[in-house]
Structure 1
Amino acid sequence: MPIPRWITPVNRRVTNRVLGPLAVRMPPLAVIHHVGRRSGSQRATPVMAFRTARGVVIALTYGPDVDWLRNVLAAGRARLVQGGRTTALVAPVLLHGAAGARLMPWWVRVALRTLRVDDYVELAAAPKRPARGDRESG
């Protein structure tokens, strides 16, 4: 696990509250919105997300044993706000090693290799539903 677990409470109380409002407007920072699997409450976690052919990939800098990821895996869906746009995400897939790293930009791969980050999650962009007036008649 590249980032020590003792940093988690500091991030929740300080870093996430500072970065959260900035993250929704400054890619690659983003905020992933998910539902607590036990509480059912709405949660928001700042992350660094990068676009892929399927949707987005997120490096798991704390490893795969984090609450937000468990919530997303349990629900099978989440929403991502990045650059002022919201994307519905579905079908999370855990990736390890080169399978996840190759989805990241080269400059991010270098940093993640230095931090010994080896776990990723890729989420597919949910198909867009047609607007009410856009449905074909017939």
Structure 2
Amino acid sequence: MRLSRVIPGLLAAGTVGAGAAFVIGMRNKSPWLQDRVRAFSKRFSSEALKTAGTRGATNGVVLHVGRASGRQYATPITPFPTPDGFVINLPYTSKVDWAQNVLAANSATIVHDGIEHRVTDPRIVPYAEVAPLLPKAAGVFRAVFDVQEFLRVTKVD
């Protein structure tokens, strides 16, 4: 068999295998994998922040204050508007720093579709509570990565 036919097949199998390992690790909430994905996300969040929150962008930004440092932070998120505020999925669980900061401060600012929204009353809720509020695409993401926790906030403005 010629290498020119074997190599593309091996590359495809490796890609599928890596993708499957990623999904399985995220579904099982592997601390090792989640730590690495979080580190990667933090390192490259500046790229995501270039368009997040702008008009027409899928992603938004949560502006929050560090509970220990007191510094202002901007973290890219995917907010889903609800009649009274937003729902944000937490694929890495509610233990992520930004969510803990919002919970500790009991407020934040979410920039979505080019508009800043002051939010309050953050609470961690299960999927069953927010399922009717989410678009179908969010349900697919939740199912693939077994997201169990969501942050729900209420708009002040």
Unaligned 5+ residue runs, structure 2?
Answer: 1-28
Deviations 1:9-65 (A, max 9, x none): 111111x11111111214331000000001100011000001112200000011111
**SS of residue matched to 1:6:** helix
Aligned partners of 2:85 and 2:154 also within 8 Å: yes
Return the alpha-carbon distance in structure 2 between the equivalents of residues 81 and 97 of structure 1: 23
Aligned partners of 2:51 and 2:57 also within 8 Å: no
Return the alpha-carbon distance in structure 1 between the equivalents of residues 65 and 114 of structure 2: 21
Specify the alignment match of 1:4 in structure 2.
34
**SS of residue matched to 2:70:** coil
Specify the alignment match of 1:135 in structure 2.
none
Return the alpha-carbon distance in structure 1 between the equivalents of residues 122 and 61 of structure 2: 16
The structure whose residues are more often helix, as a share, is 2
Residue 24 of structure 1 aligns with an amino acid whose one-letter code is G
Aligned partners of 1:30 and 1:46 also within 8 Å: yes
Aligned partners of 1:31 and 1:82 also within 8 Å: yes
TM-score by length of 1: 0.85
TM-score by length of 2: 0.75
Structure 1 residue 122 corresponds to structure 2 residue 156: no
**SS of residue matched to 1:65:** coil
Structure with greater Cα Rg: 2
Specify the alignment match of 2:4 in structure 1.
none
Unaligned 5+ residue runs, structure 1?
Answer: 129-138
Moved >6 Å (runs of 4+): none
Specify the alignment match of 1:18 in structure 2.
47
Aligned length: 126
Pair 1:27–1:104, CA change in 2 (3 A): farther
Aligned partners of 2:123 and 2:153 also within 8 Å: yes
